[in-house]
Amino acid sequence: MLVFPQLVTGASALYPVTKNSIQRTVVNTLGDGSTVVLADPDAAATAWELKAQGMTLVEWTAIETLFVATSGMWQTFTFLDPAGNLFAQSENLAAGAWTNGALIGLTAGISDPLGTTRATRVVNAGLAAESVAQILNVPGNFEYCMSVWARTIGGSSVTLSLSTTGANSQKTFALTTAWLRIVLAGNLAQSTISVTFAAQLAPGATVDLFGMQVEAQLGPSDYKQTQEQGGVYAKARFAQDSLTVTAQGTDVYDATIQIVDTEG
């Protein structure tokens, strides 16, 4: 699995990071002078510019190694958006992106901590623990941070978990009727290519959830709502066929790296 490397600090990128959404509109001018304007979704792209200043030699070598492995712009790699939420469909827990327990019941349209009605009431009607979960095709040896707002109307708790083949990390949070943003961060330290992120409920538990988010970093940032495309871009490419690095001192390297995805 070719993947853009994480920094040795566990950060997803050195900032500033610029992210652009590129769209194309087709304009057809007819013989009478009128025009027909149509969107061209097949030409859409997402682009990032990473101004990586102060990298260590280890960090720069990892990027250069990936660049050689992809032959520059030629081959694709997985890029975890440093400005995004890795989950897809972050507010539609009934969508196909989620792998939920068979006896998990979902009710959308619940009031949320932002003053809207985008939260979901989750009920475990089973006799065993059940989860709302999403499996992401991401490395098992990166730092991740999972966060969500949660509350309960019946004294229930919720357990956040990260798991992959050979490793699991989890933490149980006691909830009240007030919204609380709960966080689980960790590195499973496994050379695997998928990780399951889950919010687990005990039998009979009822919990309201809002703002499900995963990021490839040590701590949570502001919540980002997602639709069909989450922050995992499996067919990203380098946007240039050469990389220039400047050595500013001993073990201090600067480079500007451009990445583009046209197939997300």
Confidence of residue 40 (pLDDT cuts 50, 70, 90): low
Indicate if 62 and 112 belong to the same structural domain.
no
pLDDT per position as a tens digit, 86-113:
999 999 999 999 999 999 999 999 999 9
Dihedrals phi, psi of 39, to nearest 5 degrees: -75, 150
Residue 45 has pLDDT above 90, yes or no: no
Q: Is 175 inside any structural domain?
A: yes
pLDDT on residue 124: 97
Q: Give pTM, 2 decimals.
A: 0.91
pLDDT per position as a tens digit, 1-22:
999 999 998 988 888 899 998 8
Counting Cα atoms < 13 Å in the Cβ hemisphere of 85 gives 22
Indicate if 27 and 114 belong to the same structural domain.
no
Residue 60 has pLDDT above 70, yes or no: yes
Count up the domains in the chain and report the number. Answer: 2
Task: Give 261's contacts (C-beta < 8 A, 6+ positions apart).
Answer: 45, 46, 47, 79, 233, 235, 236, 237
Indicate if 236 and 198 belong to the same structural domain.
no
Indicate if 206 and 256 belong to the same structural domain.
no
Indicate if 147 and 195 belong to the same structural domain.
yes
CATH number, domain with residue 152: 2.60.120.260
Indicate if 110 and 199 belong to the same structural domain.
yes
Indicate if 189 and 119 belong to the same structural domain.
yes
Indicate if 36 and 71 belong to the same structural domain.
yes
Which domain range does residue 176 map to?
104-215
Indicate if 118 and 31 belong to the same structural domain.
no
pLDDT on residue 48: 97
pLDDT on residue 33: 74
Q: Is 35 inside any structural domain?
A: yes
Indicate if 67 and 161 belong to the same structural domain.
no
Q: Is 239 inside any structural domain?
A: yes
Q: Is 172 inside any structural domain?
A: yes
CA distance 183 to 198: 12
Higher pLDDT, 31 or 116: 116
Q: Is 113 inside any structural domain?
A: yes
Indicate if 194 and 249 belong to the same structural domain.
no
The residue among 224, 257, 222, 227 whose CA lies nearest residue 240 is 257
Q: Is 176 inside any structural domain?
A: yes
